[in-house]
Structure 1
Amino acid sequence: MATQSQLTWLALGATTALGAASLCWQKHEKRGRGLLLSPSRGSLVDAARTLNRGAGLLAFSVALDSALEHYRGDFANRAMYTPLLTASLSLLASAQGQQDRSTRANRLRHTIYLGAGASGLAGTAFHLYNLSKRPGGLCWNNLFYGAPLGAPSALLLSGLLGYYSERLRGACDEGRPRVFGLPVGEAVALMATGGLLGTCAEVALLHFRGSFQKPAMYLPVVAPPVAAGLLASTVVAGPGYPRLRWLSRLWLRFTAFMGLAGAGFHALGIARNHGGWRNWRQNLQVGPPLPAPPSFTGLALAGLAAHTLLDEENDPARYPRRPG
């Protein structure tokens, strides 16, 4: 029977293999095949549907994570039911938006996404207040074991991704669509960059609490900042650096695979606890959070959608350059 160390290295090897397999996505994308982790290229609607996909993954992660954490807290405050409702609605809206090829924004989805974003913002403030009133205030011990700041922020990001998707659909007939005063490609790229860095900070805190007992625990602390840096560099450098864009896309795909593989790592961590999955009622609550890693996948999808939008904005056939 394999030891825990052998299982860990096997899981790490599987993650590395997934990352290497992402090299093949470049060839498939050139053939125009629609892939799960690669947005279709050529229209704002394609990018909007990719953002719906990312928003849905984040909402799915938040819905399950908040259900487990708030159940452990015995739903002491009725407001603890709010993220379950808003995240579930965001997930349903995202699933419907993924199937929608219309160039018109949907008011119901738009309202749901705004509600999810507002819920995430309020939840972040509530968790911050909860930490500040504990003995010691904002100390390391409370950051380790108090209400997590990153969980409601993921719901905020889900709402933002969905909001951007609806803005994209509503801007299909405009000249150069802009969001918050920025070209939409840059706006989505900066939002994905900030989300990757913020999620990475939360993971670094929790893995530091776990003393980085396994080598694989370093991967989600190292890979997302690299993806965020490459994405931001792509925005700053402009269209004149195709190798940089290729590397950024590749690393975002690796980050997306890493998020999915991370759920497998956490499932392995739960299995190592006393009783394993036979004692799932307890181990799901005390073990590593199973639904958390796919948040990286959702944000990586947003980064890939940003690349699609940046390519659109720099396409002279779609947006002719004005002389002078």
Structure 2
Amino acid sequence: MKELIKQLVPGIKALTDGIKTTGHIPVAGTPIEMPFTLICGTKQGKDILITGGVHGGEYPCIETAIQLAKELDPKEVAGTVLIIHPVNTAAFLARMQYYGPYDGKNLNRVFPGKATGTVSERIAYVVHQLQKEADFFIDLHGGDIHESLIPFVIYSNVGSKEVSEQSRQAAALLGFPYVVGSVSENGSIGGAATVGTPGFLAELGQCGRWNQDEVEQYKAAVKNVLRSWATIPGQVHTHQVEYLERMLVATALHEGCWYPEVKLEAKVTKGQKLGEIRDFFGTKLSEYHAEGDGIVLYLVTSLAITANDPLYAIGVQAAK
């Protein structure tokens, strides 16, 4: 991890054990520079990569990454912890949901990226190079500007069974109520899993807002995971969580006005109507039904909706 940072960041000084280094990782061929903090511990240990702000409007995770970077003491750290805070600086400053301002792409849908691609693809490519060097990857997310959600964690089933199981067990240590598997290959954790790096994507926060209580909850959860690898000292706390088999995401067929008919954490059954899209005259354009039995994990709250945007996600409970 340290050697790759030296290659990516021009003019960086020697990365010494027991020292915390801050700076910006440039994304070649773009105006993007990702602020980072590298904590080099005094003892041997794992290389951990933590990212916050892949989506620019998810504020609790970004502030959590910033505060973690300030609080972690290299004298107490084993191994190295690299924190990027935030990843998608342009989207953050533009107050954009999902997409980047330069290419209109969703950064979390273009992994592993392309070295000579669009801006979002180039950002993903740089992060993916860091994923390859890491022993574990933590991607912090939250309720975007137009999303409500209950805290949950996604781990990847794309890689080997061993990597998947490491990811699943670590995800449970956050203490969020639900842990769900994913088979997506173009997201951040799918990109990590394809190169054998275990990890998870965490979700905490509501509708583009943040408060310190949420940040404290998020920091405590991440630190518990770090303690499980002896990256930082302290007792590891175990939690009761519900494991979900997969996530069903519905996307909009039309632009217009979105009217959900369920609430967060509602238990729904296959075929149940969950909402509809109407035009600007109140005429129904399309309606949406649950594709399976499960629990509503997140729900778009904005009246405005555009075609192909997510509407909601259902976590499917494992068959008994």
TM-score by length of structure 1 reads 0.24
More strand by percentage: 2
More helix by percentage: 1
TM-score by length of structure 2 reads 0.25
